[in-house]
Structure 1
Amino acid sequence: MLHALVQNSKVISRAGKTIAVPWWSFTKTVIATAALVLVRDKLLALDQTLENQLFTLRQLLRHEAGLADYGQLPDYHLAVERGDAPWSDEEMLERTEAKRLRYLPGSSWAYSNIGYLYVRRLIEHRTGEDLEVALQRLVLRPLELNHVRLAKSHQDLIDVEMGVANTYDPRWVYHGLLVGPLHEAALLLDRLMAGSLLPEDLLGDMLERRSLGGSIAGRPWVSPGYGLGIMVGTTEDETSIAGHTGGGPGSFIAVYRNIASPLSPCCAAFSTGGEVGNVEREAIRRVEQYRLSNGGS
């Protein structure tokens, strides 16, 4: 089932109650925003090599740190499918040989969920707060989002639309899994891009992308790129968009806006089946539909 909305014009509900959905890797956009708020407040630095590491915060946020990704481990996916108890952080890092960098930081690009676990730890260390408290204080409350929370156990997903993954344990997402209404995902991106939380220079840093080359099979990107916790690029219909796609067992989410148009709404789509490219296309279709209805501006 596919749900879509433009800003907060449609709310997924059941029996009059708003339904939360898993934000999957759109959570990375929120984590990156929290880290940039700490940069704004001079509690973190984007380009200072982190203690006992060879990479910087900027390289972590843009997947340029040289780290492996546990999503590449067949045993990880088998364990999730079996319903095994999640590995500890330490076991996961050992299984992925996380200490062995795959390339010199900054010299290449490879998507890494482990990198965002490191950012999570950095935020928790600098604030002295666990991730949920930090995200609420730094991002969610300032942007007036009241129904987003961090899922920490299977019990936290009982009222969440998980599709067929109704026994999923969110601890398998090592950087953290936010859940919340679909319309609040669109609102978060809209208010973030409005520039009230981050100063112009840091918002510019966030949108400055590393080009990832050509198109992605089955997906609507012709010029994909990645910024700081945000996907930035051009689509098949030549729309310049920014946002993030996420996916996990049972569902996909895509949240985007046209960054070439200051009046563009933020559009979100969520699906409990199908292909990730279809969810992205639906969100992007809504973005483009709005642009064309307003004279192409």
Structure 2
Amino acid sequence: MIELDNLYTKLTRVKEEMIVNQKYLNHCLQAKANAKRVYESFTKSSDQYTKQQFKRFLTSLIGREEQYIEKIEQSRTKAYKHLNECTETLEQAYLEQERLENERNRLTTQLHALKQQLNETSGPYREEVLEAFSERKHLRETCEEIDEAFYIGQKILRYVYEAIDALDSAKSWSTVDMLGGGFLTDVVKYDHIDKAESIMQKVEVGLMRYQEELKDVSYSWDSGYEYLSNSHRLMDFMLDNIFTDVSNYNKIQDNLSSLENLLNQITTSQNRLSALRKQVEIEIEQSLDLYELDKNQS
């Protein structure tokens, strides 16, 4: 089945070239649009024309009208030339994409015909078709597991952002407290702290579920979040001096740093999940191309 592998390799290479060329084509489209906008700016509106006329009048007063007109014409000619170059480049990109599409279709047709032939004449290929079907089922289950883990991760990230917002508010009120706030300042500050701690409880539950789902992804996280004890709160309310205020501020700042670190760790795990998902999708697509007889019919 070397012929099958070689044909698939050619098809894969053409598909990759199509992706690259499509990006280049999009770049050419944007370049032409920019060039067209620059060229049309010379004769876009009567208002601009009036401004140019007024500028020409001013330049005529000092004897430089000819230089001004020459400069405008040079700029217009340059813009027109650039527009033509962009148009030609875009046309070439379209032609290349068309050529690649035709080559892809040709190879796809050959691949389908070869698969049908092997299925009729090769026992080992028929066995691989059955094995590939079972493998794709497993790969799709893996995708579902990845999606579930990714969903949990996104939920954790939302919670962490909410906790950071609550602690940011608590930090602001803690600053006010150090500058001479009183009982009401403490009440508002701890209201935000309580909100953050309530959210962190959800985060910790989510992290346990997240860990259960991360079977094929390396991960490392530690929130390091420190909950404020009741005794600490009581001392802050009872003593309410600069020392307790500074201590609270530092604990809030430390918790904010911990949450930022956790945010980066979860984001890294999410990126690894996304990469793994794409890799599994590639494996499924490759299996379909090589062993699904009804795929790629022309």
Alignment TM-score, normalising by the size of structure 2: 0.20
Larger Cα-atom Rg: 2
Higher-strand-fraction structure: 1
Alignment TM-score, normalising by the size of structure 1: 0.20
